[in-house]
Structure 1
Amino acid sequence: MLLPRFTHGELSRFVWGNLGVLAVLWVLQLAKIHWVALSLRTLFIISIIAVLMDYGPLVVKKAANARTVDHIRLDLNVVFSAYGLLYLLTPRAFNPQNPAESLALLGFLFSVGALVLAYVPRNHYVGIRFPQTYASPVVWRKTNLLGARLGFVCGLIFFLTAGLFGADIGTAALLMGVIGLVIGTWTYANWLTQRGK
């Protein structure tokens, strides 16, 4: 739920937009026009990820969870679009000087992993777990939604800094982002509790 409100038409536009961009990249690759610095292997991996993000959630789609599955598909397409935009703006982050020492991939995984927070029910293992979030299902849901959004941004920043400046600066950015995420969600959970949510 990275986007608070959306229509089914907006989901379709995201899906078709992302698939359209992939189609253009394949045409450029097959026509040997290399203004994009993607190897054939990288483009193939990106294509598989895009197809899994678009159609993987549909495997579990039933009438009872249709809205949740649409939210997940939209979130994954937002992630794909955000990283696609980053590629256009900073392609060097996707091709670090020393790939063996780069932690940029972890930034992507952090971004996608943070999305889980928006959908996880109250439990003792996964989620933003403060006394305030355990006390109220509404506080749990809203705080974890904020955590998903902050975690997504934190992963983007980690990806960029690790890809552009190396593992040390990327790790420092991740640490600062996680501290910000903890402080932000804790403050928000307290504020919701005080308002009686």
Structure 2
Amino acid sequence: MVDERQTVRQVLDSLLDKSHCGYSPDWSLVETINELQMERVFEDHENLVENLLNWTRDSQNRLMFTERIEKYAVFKNPQNYLLGRKETCEMTERNKEALLEECFGGTSVSVPEMEGVLWLKEDGKKSWKKRYFLLRASGIYYVPKGKAKASRDLVCFLQLDHVNVYFGQDYKSKYKAPTDYCMVLKV
């Protein structure tokens, strides 16, 4: 039984106590949506019941209790996620802590600005198009075809309020994705 006020972390602690798995921060609750072939790891602070209430009554969705090493990977090796490809290297623990403090510490949390090419499949379209995207604190933006990377030309793709990031599974065969590595942004 899960109390409607419990966070994912509280549910995980209860499951770990009952299953005698041994404590590890990598234990996770993973939501899978089979119909759309996507999954996501619930964050520890989320309310579990609120998320499950979003499921339809006859849903085939599943909730799995499993270990996922990627759950806290950004905190274990922040250089792999917060630095450019050229700067990624082995870092001392002290340097990792400094990098995390720079991005997530202090009174205001700063979003690292990232940019690069992503493949996009728009609603109703059959083909995937390359677009140049920029991650900003206010959202995700892209550069329309034939435009420069100037701020005035950017188009807001998605504001980051109340967005869940899912991993696409086998999108290459089902949706003819150009790569096996897909993410789904669900509002």
Give TM-score, length-normalised by structure 1: 0.26
- Which structure has greater strand proportion? 2
Query: Higher relative contact order at CA 8 Å, sep ≥6: structure 1 or structure 2?
Result: 1
